[in-house]
Amino acid sequence: MGESNQFLGTEPVGRLMKQYAVPCVISLLMGALYNIVDQIFIANASYLGSYGNAANTVVFPLTVVALALAVMVGDGCCAFVSISLGREDRTSACKSVGNAVVMTLGASIVLTAVYLIFQEQIIALFGGTVNQETFVHSKEYFFYITLGIPFYMFGQAMNPVIRADGAPRFAMAATLAGAVTNIILDPVFIFLFRWGMMGAAVATVIGQILTALISVWYLFRMKVIRPSASDFRPEARISGRVLLMGITSFLSQISLVAAMAAINNMIRMYGALDPVFGQAQYAQIPMAVVGIVMKFFQIIISVVVGTAAGCIPIVGFNMGAEKSERVRQLFTRLLEAEAVVGTVGFVLAEFFPRQLISIFGAANESTYYTQFALRAFRIYLCLIIPACINKACFIFLQAMGKAGESTALSMIREVVFGVGFALLLPRVWGLDGVLYSMPVSDGLTLIIALVLIRHTYQYLKGEPTK
């Protein structure tokens, strides 16, 4: 028998939230930094510049596909394990971990094969044909990033599983080790060896391999959940439940891919009609800039998702133990924290966009680059506070085991609104329509989220919902 997670039902909620959320936030920030650090070094390499930036933007959503599959398994397993431990069902918890490992390995191998076989078609689908230089850089970066997908997916999927085992700090350390390795190797490969996009990708993959190896080491030394060899045998009931509980995490990531595909292609289409960006030497600028804005947004959302996902083991355990008052207290604290994070993001995007742009090599670019970037930050992120509250609501409902409500809200935001407005608004406002698609989507989603938040409080208080 392993150790016990009973303290999740007795320790003060605020203390537990800090204990679990902070390492999770750092883990996700470090994971986000892989691509962001690549883009910073690429942008500041004079021989790559905005062409390299645009290529990074093209490949970024393709890494998110891998992340979406990984977090669906990992977050679903984390929620399943936590609820199972709350019900003192250690057998199911162990089986879910074994099944999660098998599903992650299988999915990563299939995805790697698909990417290698259909490389050029996929790059074209995500706007990589905006000009020849961008296409060449995209192919180079994409090929080497693809080789690291099995390691990347395994490390990302096991991170929430390690948290569910009661080791959030170890989960953080595993991700941190890989990210720091990437940060050290990026300037060496890009500036010293001048390996260009290949150098950025190889640095990333080496970091991902390190995180995966550390995660494997932990799996053989788990504290609470100790799966045996038989637990790694796929079981439809367990695997199905894990995937169902992780579907919201999958949709929140995969829909970002759909939105970015729509946005990148709208940028390519309407940029060609713009008097400035229709010129070949400036064609890559809108795509590079929107990629940078999305990277900043990803940093803020990593804090938001990390705070909420860090609460999954606490919520799941207390739901399983039927301690709804503790869950309600946690929900209140989470919404307050996410509103603060969103406010910080809003202030930075609206009042300090020039400083944010400078991080990504704006000094090497034309005035058209800077002007479009300032407008993009201020429009695209003007409703970042509702965006943070929406995301927290998705994840909390998922942690409570309310997969239906969580999935529906996520689908409406990410697919119906996110993709729909990205395709519709540019037809009216051109390039600016791409920028307005984000705040319009989040503003409308908040209205629905507020209704669900009210119903959730009523449910946790034992009141009838209307």
252: nearest Cα among 414, 110, 139: 414
Report the alpha-carbon distance of residue 173 to residue 312 in Å, rounded: 19
Q: Six-digit token pair at 237?
A: 């009931």
Report the alpha-carbon distance of residue 168 to residue 222 in Å, rounded: 12
Q: Six-digit token pair at 28?
A: 């996700």
pLDDT of residue 466: 52
pLDDT digits (tens, 9 = 90+) for 393-438: 988 988 887 878 888 888 898 889 988 999 999 999 988 999 999 9
* Cβ burial 225-250 (10 Å sphere, 16+ → b, else e): bbbeeebbeebeebbebbbbbbbbbb
pLDDT of residue 2: 45
pLDDT of residue 362: 62
What distance lies between CA 332 and its chain's CA centroid? 23
φ/ψ of 275, rounded to 5, equals: -60, -30
Report the alpha-carbon distance of residue 288 to residue 195 in Å, rounded: 20
Write out the H or E segment, with its range, that includes residue 311. Answer: none
418: nearest Cα among 258, 274, 308: 258
Report the alpha-carbon distance of residue 432 to residue 293 in Å, rounded: 14
Report the alpha-carbon distance of residue 416 to residue 262 in Å, rounded: 12
Quickly count helices (H) and strands (E) in the chain. 19, 0
The list of the chain residues with pLDDT below 50 reads 1-2
Q: Six-digit token pair at 56?
A: 């990074």
pLDDT of residue 415: 83
Instruction: Kindly compute the dihedral angle of the four CA atoms of residues 169, 171, 174, 178, in this order, to the nearest 10 degrees.
Output: -110
Say if residues 160 and 77 touch (Cβ distance below 8 Å): yes
Question: Tokens 């629905």 appear where?
Answer: 448
CA distances from 75 to 80, 242, 337, 404 (A): 8, 8, 21, 16
342: nearest Cα among 408, 454, 457, 439: 439
Give SS3 for 308: helix
pLDDT of residue 142: 96
Which residues, 6 or more positions from 349, have their beta carbon under 8 angstroms from its beta carbon?
296, 356, 377, 378, 380, 381, 382, 384
123: nearest Cα among 287, 277, 261, 306: 261
Write out the H or E segment, with its range, that includes residue 43. Answer: helix 13-43
pTM (predicted TM-score): 0.79
Which residues, 6 or more positions from 381, have their beta carbon under 8 angstroms from its beta carbon?
293, 296, 297, 345, 346, 349, 350, 438, 439
